[in-house]
Amino acid sequence: MILEILSSTLRLPTFDGRLDPKAFTDWIREMDHFFEWYNLSDDRKVRFAKMKLISRAKLFWQSTEQRQQPPATDWVEMKEILREKYLPQSYQGDMLDKWNNLRQGSKPAAEYVAQFEEYLMRCDIREDERMTLSRFRQGLNDDLRKELVLREVDTLDQAYTFVQNYEMVSKPSFGRRFESRNTPRPPTTLPPSRPVPNTSPLLRDGKEKGILAESPGMKSTLQCYKCQGFGHKAANCGNRTLFVNSQGQNYEGDVIEEQLYEPDLENLPESDEDCEAEMSP
């Protein structure tokens, strides 16, 4: 049992005498909880508490023991001496004012409950539970306060549980719908478009009568008979061709005109007799 107490004592927080009411009240609360768990005599409680005073707090307690006759012999008396030193006289009143002015506002119900409980512990007042419940209702938003009254919730623990569950059930569905409407959708990535084949008809070339030129964008089917390439005529071929004449001399041909037959429709003979007359010498 002694070893267990000593092991637990090592885990207890220390107090260094800083002028921070919150740090001091937290330390007092931890010590109270420890002494409630272990059944120790008043003398041992004081000795364990002295072990957890360090720095300026330890010096203060040592000087207090030297001045005080007889020294403090129980934890309750020791707490009162420490409170007079490290808690301002206005601390209790300031905490009560903050507690009375606490309002839920835009805070979630769970956060409001946590703050209300913290003020309840730090103010350390003893009052009827109905009065504390009235404080709690007063700080709630109108919708939750009305629900507590309609459902006749009459204990503080029930009120804590109800407001958190009520908000959890009634609010999130609307919140999710609202977020889904207002959350911008990520941009849609479209696959690269395929090139659309050009189906425009063939255009007639103005330079060569009867020759059809292909519109841009279409794969050419026109073939040069000189270089066997596509997309141009022999007259426009840039490939120079080597020719050998009958005397064995070499020369390069630059331009070879394509001979295209184009009938003279205006001077055609009207009958076979006219045709024979033209052909006779």
Q: What would the DSSP string read from start to end of 3-52?
A: HHHHHHHHHS--B---S-HHHHHHHHHHHHHHHHHS---HHHHHHHHHHT
| Span of 51-60, 137-146, 232-241 with lowest mean pLDDT | 232-241
% of the chain with per-residue pLDDT over 90 = 42
Per-residue pLDDT tens digits for 206-235: 444 444 444 455 555 677 767 777 777 777
Higher pLDDT residue, 93 or 276? 93
Q: For the chain, which domains are there?
A: 1-87 (no CATH), 91-170 (1.10.1200)
Per-residue pLDDT tens digits for 82-136: 999 999 989 989 999 999 999 999 999 999 999 999 999 888 888 999 999 999 9
Buried b (16+ CB within 10 A) or exposed e, 75-97: beebbebbeeebeeeebbeebee
The answer, yes or no, to whether residue 168 has pLDDT greater than 80, is yes
